[in-house]
Structure 1
C-alpha cells in the first residue's frame, strides 16, 4: 500500500499482480504511480495467489 499520493476524497487504485510475484517498486515509480499522484489516489497492490510470497501451501 502507498498512501503518500492520497488526497482526501481521492480514488483507490488497485493493481492485481497477475501471474508473477508482486513488486513493491510498482508503488513508487512508473505510470501507475504518476496517475495516482495526478488523481490523489490511495494505491493498493495485490499479489496473485500461488505467485511470489503468497503461496498458501507453505
Structure 2
C-alpha cells in the first residue's frame, strides 16, 4: 500500500498482480504512480497467487 499520493477527495487504485510476483516498486514509480499522484489516489497492490519466493506466511 502507498498512501503518500492520497488526498481526502481522492480515489483508490487497486492493482491485481498478473502471472508473476508482485513488485513493490510499482507503488513508488512508473505510470501507475504518476496517475495516482495526479488523481490523489490511495494505491493498493495485491498478489492473487503466490509465486517464486512469496508465501502466505511471510
TM-score range, shorter chain: 0.7 to 0.9
| Aligned counterpart, 1:40 | 40
Query: Which structure 1 residue ranges, 4+ long, deviate > 4 Å from structure 2?
Result: none
Q: CA RMSD in A?
A: 1.5
Q: Tell me the number of residue pairs that the alignment of Structure 1 and Structure 2 aligns.
A: 56
- TM-score, with structure 2 as normaliser: 0.87
Shift of 1:49: 1.3
Give the number of the structure whose residues are more often helix, by fraction.
1
- TM-score, with structure 1 as normaliser: 0.87
Where does the alignment leave 5 or more consecutive residues of structure 2 unmatched?
Answer: none
